[in-house]
């Protein structure tokens, strides 16, 4: 029997992290959880550590790490506890880790995702922001380090499954003329434009099909998630923005499609449950159970496809323009979005303000070439500063 693979789960306390551990629990002979990492949820990570017995857990927040250390000692667990972003990146690149689930949300995941890539690991990429903000740099590092990048995002995982056998992101997608990302349309698919300024964070996070963290839920409500995914697809599959289409598919059964030169279209279907793409990636190139039931085609009802409403959801238009501009434009887009979404969740900005702020930041900061990570972090910081200013200026303005 094969030796179990050492796996690090970065963002283990989040939605993707928990689903990953649920799949791993079904296959204890295949994986040895070596590292768990998160920001500050010490109670959750302590429970996970007691169940999966990793060598090390890392909480970026120092105070939370101290609490986890005390709790683990009390329970007689031998797991080592470290703190800080650097410790997390080091753990992701360590020798007893062969696979890394990159499931931290936002730009905060870049350092550890990059460390895993540079160490040549098999990286399961949920943290789409790390890819979007660095553009070609991350894919170049994958190639240089002979790492393997397997997409977890359900659409990109679906496309990966529909690619020719042996294909890995970064390879040329031979014979592929187009990829088509499906979008559920989010909670406001049929909401009138006049109602959009008044929607609340809780309404935005009540996604009709998927249960996810709050940041990506808001991204799904604005359709910025689909915009980020267009950019993610251009980078993973080496296609221009014009060859990445988006269709709204409210049933969320078809997770995405690949169109070939011969007129074939291949689609991947499944229940809207992230354990399926996670299991596909963990088992690749094999297949194993995920704990998800397969579809009942006869009970499913008709499937519909619609054009996205680019007027009510300007974030998709803005993201497409950033994809075409390239350079630092996706970095700026992602950073301004992170700031605007947090302001919306904190009730400092209304829903419509999210796209307005991102648009203004992109108008102000011209796209510049990206040659190294310093360019990325500079553009990221400039965009965040400007977004904060625009949000402060808009405070108190009528909805």
Q: Name the site residues for Mg ion (rule: CB under 5 A).
A: 153-155
Q: Which does 105 bind (CB under 5 to 8 A by kind): ligand NAD, Mg ion, none?
A: ligand NAD
Residue 127 site contact among ligand NAD, Mg ion, none (CB < 5 to 8 Å, cut-off depends on kind): ligand NAD
On whether the CB atoms of residues 105 and 132 are closer than 8 A, the answer is no
CA distance 357 to 109: 23
Comparing C-alpha atoms, which of 229, 36, 212, 221 is closest to residue 128?
229
Rounded least distance, CB 318 to ligand NAD, Å: 18
> How far apart are CB 74 and ligand NAD at their closest, in Å?
22
Work out what residue 39 binds among Mg ion, ligand NAD, none; the CB cut-off runs from 5 to 8 Å by kind: ligand NAD
The residue with its CB nearest to Mg ion is 153
Helix/strand/coil for 366: coil
Query: Minimum CB separation from ligand NAD for residue 16, in Å?
Result: 4
Q: Which does 210 bind (CB under 5 to 8 A by kind): ligand NAD, Mg ion, none?
A: ligand NAD
Query: How near is the Cβ of 161 to ligand NAD at its closest, in Å?
Result: 15
Burial class, 398, CB count within 10 angstroms (exposed 0-12 / middle 13-18 / buried 19+): exposed
**Residues interacting with ligand NAD, by CB under 6 A?**
11-17, 38-39, 41, 60, 103-105, 108, 126-129, 153, 210, 212-213, 216, 274
Q: Nearest distance from residue 237's CB to ligand NAD, in Å?
A: 17
Q: Which does 213 bind (CB under 5 to 8 A by kind): ligand NAD, Mg ion, none?
A: ligand NAD
Of 67, 79, 77, 131, the C-alpha closest to 104 is 131
Partner from Mg ion, ligand NAD, none contacting 103, C-beta within 5 to 8 A by type:
ligand NAD
Distance, in Å, from the CA atom of 258 to the CA atom of 181, rounded to the nearest integer, reads 9
Distances (CA, A) of 325 to 121, 336, 359: 31, 16, 14
Tell the smallest beta-carbon distance from residue 314 to ligand NAD (Å).
20
| Site of tokens 């709204």 | 248
Q: Judged by CB, which is closer to Mg ion: 55, or 338?
A: 338
Please say which residue, 87 or 216, places its beta carbon nearer to Mg ion. Answer: 216
Q: Say which residue the tokens 């204890």 belong to.
A: 28
| Residue closer to ligand NAD (CB basis): 108 or 239 | 108
- Output the smallest distance, CB 105 to ligand NAD, in A: 4
Residue 231 interaction partner, one of Mg ion, ligand NAD, none, beta carbon < 5-8 Å per kind: none
Q: Which is nearer to ligand NAD, 38 or 196 (CB)?
A: 38
89 binds, among Mg ion, ligand NAD, none (CB under 5 to 8 A by kind): none
**Spatial contact of 327 and 369, defined as CB atoms under 8 Å apart:** yes
250, two tokens:
């409210």
> Contact at 8 Å (CB) between 212 and 152?
no
60 binds, among ligand NAD, Mg ion, none (CB under 5 to 8 A by kind): ligand NAD
| 122 contacts: CB under 8 Å, gap ≥ 6 | 98, 99, 100, 147, 148, 150
Residue 125 CB, shortest distance to ligand NAD, in Å, is 9
Q: Decide whether 87 or 390 has the Cβ nearer to ligand NAD.
A: 87
Residue 36's Cβ-count burial label (10 Å; 0-12, 13-18, 19+) is buried
| Minimum CB distance to Mg ion, residue 389 (Å) | 31
Q: Which is nearer to ligand NAD, 257 or 390 (CB)?
A: 257
Which residue number, 179 or 390, has a Cβ lying nearer to ligand NAD?
179
Are the CB atoms for 276 and 321 separated by under 8 Å? no
Own/partner long-range contacts of 309-313 (Cβ < 8 Å, ≥24 apart): 311/193, 312/188, 312/191, 312/193, 312/196, 313/222, 313/223, 313/355
Ranked by CB distance to ligand NAD, the top (closest) residue is: 14
Counting every residue, how long is the chain?
A: 399
């Amino acid at each position: 029997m094969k030796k179990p693979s050492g796996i690090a789960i970065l963002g283990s306390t989040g939605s993707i992290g928990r689903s990953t551990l649920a799949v791993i629990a079904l296959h204890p002979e295949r994986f040895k959880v070596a590292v768990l990492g998160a920001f500050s949820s010490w109670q959750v990570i302590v429970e996970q550590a007691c169940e999966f017995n990793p060598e090390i857990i890392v909480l970026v927040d120092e105070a939370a790490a101290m609490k986890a250390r005390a709790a683990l000692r009390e329970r007689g667990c031998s797991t080592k506890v470290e703190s800080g972003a650097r410790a997390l990146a080091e753990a992701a690149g360590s020798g007893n880790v062969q696979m890394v689930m990159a499931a931290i949300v936002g730009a905060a995941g870049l350092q550890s995702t990059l460390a895993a890539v540079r160490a040549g690991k098999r990286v399961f990429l949920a943290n789409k922001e790390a890819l979007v903000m660095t553009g070609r740099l991350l894919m170049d590092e994958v190639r240089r380090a002979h790492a393997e990048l397997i997409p977890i995002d359900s659409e990109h995982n679906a496309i990966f499954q529909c690619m020719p056998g042996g294909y890995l992101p970064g390879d040329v997608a031979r014979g592929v003329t187009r990829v088509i990302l499906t979008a559920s349309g989010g909670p406001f698919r049929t909401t009138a434009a006049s109602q959009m300024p008044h929607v609340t964070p809780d309404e935005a996070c009540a996604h009709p099909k998927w249960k996810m963290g709050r940041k990506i839920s808001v991204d799904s409500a604005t359709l910025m998630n689909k915009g980020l995914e267009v950019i993610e697809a251009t980078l993973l599959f080496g296609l221009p923005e014009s060859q990445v289409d988006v269709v709204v598919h409210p049933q969320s059964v078809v997770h995405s499609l690949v169109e070939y030169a011969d007129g074939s279209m291949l689609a991947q279907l499944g229940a809207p449950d992230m354990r399926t793409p996670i299991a596909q990636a963990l088992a690749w190139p094999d297949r194993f159970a995920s704990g998800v039931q397969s579809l009942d085609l006869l009970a499913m009802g008709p499937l519909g496809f619609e054009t996205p409403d680019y007027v009510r959801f300007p974030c998709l238009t803005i993201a497409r323009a950033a994809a075409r501009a390239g350079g630092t434009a996706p970095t700026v887009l992602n950073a301004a979005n992170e700031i605007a979404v947090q302001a919306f969740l904190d009730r400092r900005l209304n829903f419509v303000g999210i796209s307005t702020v991102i648009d203004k930041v992109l108008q102000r900061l011209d796209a510049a070439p990206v040659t190294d990570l310093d360019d990325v972090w500079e553009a990221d910081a400039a965009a965040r500063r400007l977004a904060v200013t625009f949000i402060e200026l808009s405070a108190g303005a009528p909805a």
